[in-house]
């Protein structure tokens, strides 16, 4: 399985890093793109070195490298996940603007009918954000907000992050035990 992972400039870059960590131990090829603002937010929100993050991926591309294989529809990939996805990147994709590698690869995923999963993080959401998300959802894009649940009794930030990563893996059809699934049991 070959998956493109893009980290864009929204809060919650840890989600993208954690997805890479999980997939690094699976039989999955990961193609990573990190936007310039995401790089700044990684240094603000995490202790991670960019080289550590890059080491988790199979291949890394610059967001301005429009000659990368993933910019072409002829290059096969199974899915793309933008995690977290800024409202700017989401708006560009919703409007067919493909002026960097992330938005171009997403444009390719949509036109080729491949799985595209966006993990937006913003609050509150404006009517523009909601209209863009609706437009994409109608095209079959999975809108998976970074909005963790609490029924699995999280006790650490890692539990909240892993809930979202588990939902992404569910969408990708990858088995995991990152969170306890609701079984219908009534908690005491």
Ligand X SMILES: Cc1cc2nc3c(=O)[nH]c(=O)nc-3n(C[C@H](O)[C@H](O)[C@H](O)COP(=O)(O)O)c2cc1C
Binding of ligand X by 132 (CB under 6 A): no
Residue 63 corresponds to which tokens in the numbers above?
């967001």
Least distance CB 96 / ligand X (angstroms): 16
Give Cα 18 distance to the centre of its chain.
10
Pairing of strands 2-7, 29-34: parallel
Q: In this chain, which of 2, 26, 48, 88 binds ligand X, going by CB under 6 A? A: 88
Binding of ligand X by 148 (CB under 6 A): no
Least distance CB 41 / ligand X (angstroms): 5
Binding of ligand X by 87 (CB under 6 A): yes
Binding of ligand X by 86 (CB under 6 A): yes
- The Cα-based distances of 107 to 49, 121, 185 in angstroms read 30, 20, 42
Closer residue to ligand X, CB minimum distance, 11 or 72 = 11
Q: What angle do CA 103, 39, 76 make, to 5 degrees?
A: 35
Q: What are phi and psi of 59, to 5 degrees?
A: -140, 150
Secondary structure of residue 107 in the 3-state scheme = helix
Binding of ligand X by 162 (CB under 6 A): no
Closer residue to ligand X, CB minimum distance, 95 or 181 = 95
Closer residue to ligand X, CB minimum distance, 107 or 122 = 122
Least distance CB 159 / ligand X (angstroms): 21
Binding of ligand X by 122 (CB under 6 A): yes
| CA pair distance 120, 77, nearest whole angstrom | 22
Q: In this chain, which of 3, 35, 109, 167 binds ligand X, going by CB under 6 A? A: 35
DSSP per-residue codes, 24-55: HTTT-EEEEEE-HHHHHHHHHH----HHHHHH
Least distance CB 15 / ligand X (angstroms): 11
Q: What are phi and psi of 5, to 5 degrees?
A: -120, 125
Write out the residues near ligand X by the rule CB under 6 A.
Answer: 8-11, 35, 37-38, 41, 44, 86-89, 121-122
């Amino acid at each position: 399985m070959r998956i493109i992972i893009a980290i864009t400039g929204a809060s919650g870059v840890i989600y993208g890093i954690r997805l890479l960590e999980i997939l690094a131990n699976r039989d999955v090829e990961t193609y990573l793109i990190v936007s310039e603002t995401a790089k700044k937010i990684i240094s603000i929100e995490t202790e991670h070195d960019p080289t550590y993050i890059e080491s988790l991926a199979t291949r890394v591309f610059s967001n301005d490298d429009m000659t990368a294989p993933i910019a072409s529809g002829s290059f096969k990939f199974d899915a793309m996940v933008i995690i977290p996805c800024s409202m700017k990147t989401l708006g560009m994709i919703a409007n067919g603007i493909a002026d960097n590698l992330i938005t171009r690869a997403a444009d390719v995923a949509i036109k080729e009918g491949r799985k595209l999963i966006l993990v937006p993080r913003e609050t509150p959401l404006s009517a523009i954000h909601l209209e863009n998300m609706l437009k994409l959802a109608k095209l079959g894009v999975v809108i998976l907000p970074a909005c963790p649940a609490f029924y699995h009794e999280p006790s650490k930030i890692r539990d909240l992050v892993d809930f979202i990563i588990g939902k992404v893996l569910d969408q990708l059809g990858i088995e995991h035990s990152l969170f306890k699934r609701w079984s219908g049991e009534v908690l005491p």
